[in-house]
Amino acid sequence: MKLIDGKIVSEQLLTEISKNIQQHTNIRSPHLAIVMVGNHPASETYVNAKIKTCEKFGFKGSLYKYPESIKEKELLSEIQKLNEYHEIDGVIVQLPLPKHISEHQVIETISPNKDVDGFHPINIGRMAKNLPALLPATPGGILELLKFYQIETVGKHCVVIGRSNIVGSPMSILMGRNGYPGNCTVSLCHSKTQNLEFFLKNADIIIAAAGQPELVKGDMVKEGVVVIDVGIHRVPDTSKKSGYRLIGDVEFETVAPKSSFITPVPGGVGPMTIAVLLKNTYLAWQQSIINKKI
C-alpha cells in the first residue's frame, strides 16, 4: 500500500508554476479575485488559505467581501465588473451563498475565461468534448495525483461514487475520456444505485465523493484497488486537542491494507483543489498575456 500525498504533489505543481511566473519579471503577477458573501467561519478559513497560497507562490489574491443582505442583481453586477477588469485573471465565488441568491446565476455570470473553479457550462461542455478548458478544481487535482504517481488507468474499471456537479459528474467524464488519465470503463454510482458493493468489488479505481462518512469499507473492495477519497467529515474525538478528527468517505483502517494506492484524509485530495485553482488562474493569466490584456 502506498499513500498518495497531496501535499507533496501540490507543492511540486505550484513550485513549477511559480518558477514560470518569475521568468516574466516585466509584467504583473497572475491575479485571483475571491468573492465572498456573508460571514461563514469555515469559508473564511478556506479563503484565507487560498490567499496565503497565492502569496507563497507569486500570485496576487484579492478578497471582495459583501454583506449577506446584498441583492442578487447587485452581486451579479459586481461580478460583471470583475469580468471586465483586465488585471484580474480568475474569479471565484466562495460557496455557500445566501438562499436568496441563485448559485447557477452567479456561476453563469462569471466569464468562462476567468472561471477558474471550472463550473461554467461552457467549460463543462468543452471538458465533455475533450477540448481545452479550465477543469473543475477537485477533479483536476485528482488527475494531477494520478499522473504524479503514474497510476495506470487505460482499460481499468473506475467507480465514481457521487454525481455532484462539482466532483462526481465531471470526474466520471474525465476518467472516461480518450487520454491519460482516462480511457477507463466508468460506473457512476449514487444514492439510487442498487447493490453498490457489487460495483465496488469489481472496481480497479474508486473515487469516493458521496458525502457519507466511511461509506466504503474493507470488505467491499478487492485487493490492489486504487482509492481516491474526496470526502471530509468532522467526528468527535476527545483524544484530540481540537475535540474532533477528520475522516473521509472511506474507512481508511480497513480499506488501506487492501489498496495499492490510497489518499489519506486529510492531506490527500484537499491540497490539490487549491493547487489546481491556482493552476487555472495561471492558465487564464497566460491567455491574458497572449491577448495582451496585461
Catalytic residues: 50, 94, 117
Q: Taking CA 227 as the corner, what is the angle to CA 161 and CA 145, rounded to the nearest 5 degrees?
A: 105
In a 3-state reduction of DSSP, which class is residue 157? strand
Q: Please, which residues bridge with residue 92 across strands?
A: 34
**Is 224 within 8 Å of 255 (Cβ atoms)?**
no
Element (H, E) at 92: strand 90-93
Q: Find cell 496565503 and name the residue.
A: 52
Distance from C-alpha of 229 to C-alpha of 171, rounded to nearest angstrom: 13
Read off the C-alpha cell for 205. 479505481
Q: Taking CA 271 as the corner, what is the angle to CA 16 and CA 257, rounded to the nearest 5 degrees?
A: 115
Element (H, E) at 91: strand 90-93
Q: Which residues neighbour 199 within 8 Å (Cβ) at sequence distance 6 or greater? A: 159, 187, 189, 193
